[in-house]
Structure 1
Amino acid sequence: MVGTTGSGKSEFLRTLILALAVRSSPSELNFVLIDYKGGAAFDACTHLPHVVGVITDLDTGLAERVLTSLEAELRYRERELRDFDKTLPRLFVVVDELAALAVDVPEFIGSLVSIAQRGRSLGVHLIVATQRPGAVLSADVLANANIRVALRVQSVHDSQEIVGSGVAAGFTRDVPGRAAMRLGPNDLFIFQTAMIAGNIADIVEVIVEASELTKSEKPRRPWLDPLPAVLMRANVCENADEPNFSEVHIGMLDDPSCQRQFNLILDLNQHVMVTGGSRSGKSSCLKLIRGIIETSAMVYTIVGTGNSDHSKNEIDLADRELVQRLLDLCLSRIVDGRSQQSSFTRIVLLIDDIDVWRNHFLEDRLGLSLWAMMQRVIIEGPAHGITCVLTMASGQSLPAILSSRIRQKWQLDGHPGGVIGEYEGRLLRGQLFFHTEVEASDQTSRSQKSSVVRHLGSRIATAELRQRGAWGVFAKDFEEVCLRPLADLAMCVVGHVGSGRTTVLESIMRAWQAQHADGRVLSVSDFSEMTVEQVFEMSVTVLLVVDDVESLSSLSDEWMQQFFMQQQPNKNMSLLIAVPPVFLRSRGEHWVQQVRRSRTGFLLGECAEHDADLFGVYSTSPSVYQQGIGQQGIGRGLLVQDGISQGIVQAASSAMPPLSIV
């Protein structure tokens, strides 16, 4: 149908729609109304029970969806007619102002050709109106249009192109609705279109009442509404509080080409990759997954924002101690060979911007070590109940050895919550559920299951230690460090001023006293009261404690020299000294070398990294517990026993009030 402005096209369309609706029930006839003149052309006709869809130029993006769905409708009708021989209602697709639609949705013309060629035999018919034929009415469309109507047009050429005659160019403005109709090669009719004299809304109301009285079935829509921008999980999931790790429902997928919408499911028995640019919603996606599964799994989130919340088991990327502890937890399960048994709680790692993490960790030796641990977790984790959900900028951010092992890959698109993923070999769009923050108290109770990864405090009170003879805590596994009860002690505590040498001496001294209730502790202040001979004549075990060796008076220093000259074998005598590393290196003939040769020492602060060779340790693996050790507080260092590195230890302090290790 072609006609210039004011020729009566829209009125003719309304009359035609109402005439068909009055004569046929919704089970016999349906309409799809497409109006690209603002939506006013069809007016109250949109409320007809026959109408299964309305599109206007105000419905952004809906036209593309309708095109896809109409193609799907043709396939649906082909299947139904072929397999079930059903009687389907005829579907009229009515388009007002095709030219405006073609500008906004250029591919619409191609779809019109497909509908025109295949639709008639399937009960799908086109009624299209435009001001002039031009390019919008291609030869393929015209070839499949059996009925052509021309109202008043501007030129003889336009009239000739539609009805094969220039008669429509001669219609006057005084007679709107005058039309020429071509039905075949030689059938040209001139007629006057009808005009609805009454109120259209009243007529529509009568048709609606008639449909209700006859109990007409509600017609099937050729497309579903787009997924809402805010999709609430509680409104979709029947069992929202009972997550199944093989079917974690996180949103909905939209498949207009198959006229369906279905659940977006993640299998958290396997890894998941989520890609997206900045502010695309990657962090919100991880929070959504966490909120669904955190009551049934040990869930940890690694973020790089700098404002992680430990109460929610969030670990900041820069906090390498907690990253190390988390990876140790995962690798311990892998090394132990634990498989996916129901008795083991699943571990889920939610890692935000893993590409940033990887680039950050490749800068130093310690970071490379952590990244190597992470790679092993990704490669071997699923077989041992460990799953990773990784977000990144693009799928090429990970090495092929890792990305090739991830089958579930989803991409976040431009709008909030939008997602694109592959399903049955096709890319589909979907919508994630809207994430709602859980109340703080509820969040805390939910997260208690995952409270395994924690910091080693920089202050530990002696009263917190449980074992007899314990004087500190190993940084790696929080095991208490105890003195060997049946061995004589000969230890150097090495450190700079302010590193906590005196604190460590006091802690070890108290541990020794706990093991030797009848023993005697002697310090430098006792040298003036007892001779070396008197010390050796004592019948009890003795611990000799010397702090600040570099500051000893000449008399005290001479006393210690005599002690080593007269030291007797098999005597229950232990030695504990505190000395700076420079003194220990520069005084090769000093009596402190006798203690150093035991190859047992505690190296505080920077000495843990630079002076372990004093006790026979010439290479040490990097440790996050050692990095920045000077800033962790006093009393932390590397323990060496008999020339073997035992690990980083935080010494306890009797001067500290009782504080939690965490």
Structure 2
Amino acid sequence: MVDDAAGRAHPKLPELLRRGARVLAVAPHSDRRPEGTRATLHLDRDGQAGAPRGRLVLSSREGNRTLSLAGDQVADAWSDRLGRALAGLRDPGPWPEDTSLPDEVSLSELLARTGTGAPGSAPADRRLRAVIGQAADGPVFVDFDQDPHLVLAGTIGFGKSVLLHGLVGSLAASQPPDRVAFVLIDFKNSSSFDCYRALPNADVFTSGDANRLVSRVLTALVTAVEERNSALGDGGLIRHHQLHDSGELPPNAQWPLPHLFVVVDEYATLAKTVPGAAARLAQIARLGRSAGVHLVIGSQRPGDIDPGIRSQCVGQMIALALNADDSTRLLGHGRAVALQDQPRGRALLQHGERSAPVLFQAGHLLTDHRPLESDEVRVRAAWPPPAPALNRGAINLADSPDVRWITSTVRARDEALRRSMREVRWRPWLAELPLSLPWDEFTPEPAPPGDGPVLLSYGRADLPEVLDQRPAVWRLGAEHSGNLAVHGTDRSGRSTVLHALLASARAYDEDRLRVYAADFGDRGRLARAASLLPHAGLVVDGTESDPETAALALLDELAEHLAARERAGTLLASRPVLVLLVDGWPSWLDCLKNASAQGRRSARSGAEVGDALARLLQRGPSVGIHVAVTGSIADLRLPPGGAWRPAANAEENLYLRPAQVQDYAAVLPLSAPNLPSGIAGRAVRHATQDGSTPYAVQIASPLLTPPTAG
């Protein structure tokens, strides 16, 4: 069958026809049929041969015989089904003819052979590429100058993690530490990346770390990518590699802006465990292309990877053994299925969906120990039965000689940079909040001069979205804030928050601030600390013999201030700011109820006491009277249906450690990793009036009194 012009004009074709060969030639017109053609079949679209339109006309070479034929055609629907069935097929190109690859390849030998790194050597290759294995025709490189991201997928037990380790080791050995840095995230419930913890330009995060820590790092990475792009734009640069080509630092950028590799092993587990991780990684993939931030994603199944990430990583893909569906989803063809019967580490590298894949053996890091026996059980139904899997054991890299010389080489280069006064600051996130924060190690927000708002600091806020840590502040004043509710279980740090507010209040005089206190949760220590302030108002100690009378007196005084300020109706009437600190909301309520039942102070009813509380909570902030209360989630929703519930009247909330994480499910608009757990004094601040994103706070413990139990 001949279907092109060159074939129809081939000089040997007439000879074949004369010798009786049966040749079917396809031509756009009868004038272009091959020489020696004896019969012609053409489609008569217009009925020019006297036959109905659309018939097939068969004519002899001499033209003395013509037949009109009805073609045995297929329906349009059949053609449509066939076309759709064939639409997913791709031509992967020829399979390498020589597939005699070694079963194992040493990464250190590859580095030495290619000159991209060797023990004690200086990096010789300025291209941002990494040798990762051996193909039939030589070493195989992943080129991050050409394509910034990489997706690597493979069934468990076939060497996916080995390849990721080799990629990191190759980059670390071939590039100076001021040019590359690594964020290594391993969620395989293992510590396989721990071998790189000694690298000065790498940080390792595993499934054993708190999810809030991983979430915080990913959030900071998104911010860092945005800041990098902004800095490059200010310097008139489009892409990060231009920075190293020019050698000039753009304005507002911090040298050296190294290439940052975010390497994830077991993406699906990370995405399920850390809410928001998939969205942040997708942002990094989209924005990092020009900013020098590279994403390397390892997963057992390509379908588990977020589409937003996959769309940014089609330039470079590596497949180990996969089933047919996953192979087609990643590469566009099913050739990775054949790798199931190959040695561990056998893989395909493909650039784009339409390029030919390259078969190679991944380079591995040498280990001083025999591979550990794997307890994995895998059942496969296939015919013919597959060959036994080769070398499927896990690899222990704790004492790898390759890792040792890579680490020593990188650390030597890093020390040389430090001696040359080029300190490498590559981490785009701040250190975690401390587990405890003594008051003498905390710098509160200074008091604004004049008639500005009253700023009472109570801890250090962590803001990874803006790469900053600053004092957490309760802003007070008629135009600035509302009430504060401190939620938490016993010994979570509730009383410590109020002590911190008292310590911060010492920066103000009585013309700007007056503090009242009702201590029903700190065994009298809050009351004693409040009474030491020079601008203290009434203080109620719940441990005294008759707290009911003092509690009603305190409520009456604040109610009178509220009424007087509302009558005055001027901003000046809101001075000084009045603050009531209530530690132990349920006991405070019980005390007021008992006083009402016993007829204390003009025998007001319980309803009247409730109305006074409601007015204080709801209308007090508008005239400079604010309330801070402590209690559990259930406590601060008391009384049920009451208008004076703190939970319904607090514009600012602090959530400390709960009795159970589920307690916050209905009230805290945060994902689970950000919930405070296990750390006394660690809170999440959520404000309703300013629309800010909730953030973590470590409460500062003041030295005014001994450590509190609340």
Q: Same fold (TM over 0.5)?
A: yes
Aligned pairs (5 A) from 1:167-246: 167-171=335-339, 175-184=343-352, 185-197=354-366, 198-215=401-418, 216-237=422-443, 246=454
Aligned pairs (5 A) from 1:11-410: 11-51=162-202, 53-61=203-211, 62-85=213-236, 87=243, 88-105=257-274, 107-136=276-305, 138=307, 141=310, 144-151=313-320, 153-171=321-339, 175-184=343-352, 185-197=354-366, 198-215=401-418, 216-237=422-443, 246-269=454-477, 272-276=483-487, 278-279=489-490, 281-293=493-505, 299-304=515-520, 308=524, 311=528, 313-316=539-542, 319-327=547-555, 348-354=579-585, 357=588, 361=592, 365-366=603-604, 388-391=627-630, 393-394=635-636, 399=643, 408-410=652-654
From the superposition, tell whether residues 289 and 121 of structure 1 become closer, same or farther in structure 2 (CA, over 3 Å): same
From the superposition, tell whether residues 218 and 272 of structure 1 become closer, same or farther in structure 2 (CA, over 3 Å): farther
Instruction: Give the Cα–Cα distance (whole angstroms) in 1 for the partners of residues 330 and 230 of structure 2.
Output: 35
SS of residue matched to 1:54 = strand
- Please say if 1:426 is aligned against 2:692: yes
Asked if the contact 2:617/2:644 (under 8 Å) is kept, the reply is no
Asked if the contact 1:10/1:42 (under 8 Å) is kept, the reply is no
Aligned to 1:482: none
From the superposition, tell whether residues 345 and 100 of structure 1 become closer, same or farther in structure 2 (CA, over 3 Å): closer
From the superposition, tell whether residues 357 and 30 of structure 1 become closer, same or farther in structure 2 (CA, over 3 Å): same
From the superposition, tell whether residues 159 and 59 of structure 1 become closer, same or farther in structure 2 (CA, over 3 Å): same
Structure 2: runs of 5 or more not aligned: 1-151, 238-242, 244-256, 367-400, 530-538, 598-602, 659-675
Asked if the contact 2:190/2:206 (under 8 Å) is kept, the reply is yes
Q: CA deviation at 1:93?
A: 1.2
From the superposition, tell whether residues 233 and 419 of structure 1 become closer, same or farther in structure 2 (CA, over 3 Å): farther
Asked if the contact 1:249/1:263 (under 8 Å) is kept, the reply is yes
Aligned to 1:633: none
Paired AA for residue 287 in structure 1: H
Aligned to 1:641: none
SS of residue matched to 2:432 = coil
Instruction: Give the Cα–Cα distance (whole angstroms) in 1 for the partners of residues 444 and 648 of structure 2.
Output: 34
Instruction: Give the Cα–Cα distance (whole angstroms) in 2 for the partners of residues 160 and 428 of structure 1.
Output: 42
From the superposition, tell whether residues 146 and 391 of structure 1 become closer, same or farther in structure 2 (CA, over 3 Å): same
Asked if the contact 2:540/2:551 (under 8 Å) is kept, the reply is no
From the superposition, tell whether residues 85 and 400 of structure 1 become closer, same or farther in structure 2 (CA, over 3 Å): farther
- Higher mean displacement: 344-353 or 395-404: 395-404
Q: Which of the two has higher C-alpha Rg?
A: 1
Q: CA deviation at 1:195?
A: 2.8
Paired AA for residue 415 in structure 2: E
Q: TM-score, normalised by structure 2?
A: 0.52
- Higher mean displacement: 89-98 or 158-167: 158-167
Instruction: Give the Cα–Cα distance (whole angstroms) in 1 for the partners of residues 276 and 620 of structure 2.
Output: 47
Instruction: Give the Cα–Cα distance (whole angstroms) in 1 for the partners of residues 628 and 196 of structure 2.
Output: 50
From the superposition, tell whether residues 142 and 406 of structure 1 become closer, same or farther in structure 2 (CA, over 3 Å): closer
From the superposition, tell whether residues 84 and 410 of structure 1 become closer, same or farther in structure 2 (CA, over 3 Å): farther
Structure 1: runs of 5 or more not aligned: 444-662
Q: CA deviation at 1:34?
A: 0.8
From the superposition, tell whether residues 355 and 10 of structure 1 become closer, same or farther in structure 2 (CA, over 3 Å): same
Asked if the contact 2:583/2:630 (under 8 Å) is kept, the reply is yes
Q: CA deviation at 1:95?
A: 0.9
Q: CA RMSD in A?
A: 4.4
Paired AA for residue 231 in structure 2: E
- Higher mean displacement: 253-262 or 351-360: 351-360
From the superposition, tell whether residues 192 and 407 of structure 1 become closer, same or farther in structure 2 (CA, over 3 Å): closer
Q: CA deviation at 1:207?
A: 1.0
Asked if the contact 2:637/2:645 (under 8 Å) is kept, the reply is no
Instruction: Give the Cα–Cα distance (whole angstroms) in 1 for the partners of residues 469 and 179 of structure 2.
Output: 26
From the superposition, tell whether residues 31 and 315 of structure 1 become closer, same or farther in structure 2 (CA, over 3 Å): same
Asked if the contact 2:444/2:504 (under 8 Å) is kept, the reply is no
From the superposition, tell whether residues 358 and 139 of structure 1 become closer, same or farther in structure 2 (CA, over 3 Å): closer
Paired AA for residue 517 in structure 2: T
For residues 184-234 of structure 1, the C-alpha deviation after alignment (integer angstroms, 9 at most, x for no partner) is 313321122223444312321221111221234323323334323423332
Instruction: Give the Cα–Cα distance (whole angstroms) in 2 for the partners of residues 176 and 377 of structure 1.
Output: 71
For residues 486-526 of structure 1, the C-alpha deviation after alignment (integer angstroms, 9 at most, x for no partner) is xxxxxxxxxxxxxxxxxxxxxxxxxxxxxxxxxxxxxxxxx
Asked if the contact 1:246/1:269 (under 8 Å) is kept, the reply is yes
From the superposition, tell whether residues 321 and 14 of structure 1 become closer, same or farther in structure 2 (CA, over 3 Å): same
Q: CA deviation at 1:428?
A: 1.8
Report 1 or 2 for greater relative contact order, CA contacts < 8 Å, sequence distance ≥ 6: 2
From the superposition, tell whether residues 245 and 173 of structure 1 become closer, same or farther in structure 2 (CA, over 3 Å): same
Asked if the contact 2:636/2:647 (under 8 Å) is kept, the reply is no
- Higher mean displacement: 205-214 or 392-401: 392-401
Asked if the contact 1:7/1:173 (under 8 Å) is kept, the reply is no
For residues 298-356 of structure 1, the C-alpha deviation after alignment (integer angstroms, 9 at most, x for no partner) is 64421345954665554229723222444566578789999999xx9976431235576
Q: TM-score, normalised by structure 1?
A: 0.56
Asked if the contact 2:346/2:361 (under 8 Å) is kept, the reply is yes
Aligned to 2:662: none
Instruction: Give the Cα–Cα distance (whole angstroms) in 1 for the partners of residues 339 and 551 of structure 2.
Output: 82
For residues 547-601 of structure 1, the C-alpha deviation after alignment (integer angstroms, 9 at most, x for no partner) is xxxxxxxxxxxxxxxxxxxxxxxxxxxxxxxxxxxxxxxxxxxxxxxxxxxxxxx
Instruction: Give the Cα–Cα distance (whole angstroms) in 1 for the partners of residues 621 and 691 of structure 2.
Output: 24
For residues 602-660 of structure 1, the C-alpha deviation after alignment (integer angstroms, 9 at most, x for no partner) is xxxxxxxxxxxxxxxxxxxxxxxxxxxxxxxxxxxxxxxxxxxxxxxxxxxxxxxxxxx
Paired AA for residue 12 in structure 1: L
Q: CA deviation at 1:156?
A: 4.1
SS of residue matched to 2:408 = helix
Identity of matched residues, %? 26
Instruction: Give the Cα–Cα distance (whole angstroms) in 2 for the partners of residues 177 and 394 of structure 1.
Output: 58
Instruction: Give the Cα–Cα distance (whole angstroms) in 2 for the partners of residues 403 and 7 of structure 1.
Output: 54
Asked if the contact 1:67/1:108 (under 8 Å) is kept, the reply is yes
Asked if the contact 1:26/1:217 (under 8 Å) is kept, the reply is no
- Higher mean displacement: 155-164 or 366-375: 366-375
For residues 384-410 of structure 1, the C-alpha deviation after alignment (integer angstroms, 9 at most, x for no partner) is 986543346458977489999975554
Aligned pairs (5 A) from 1:522-533: none
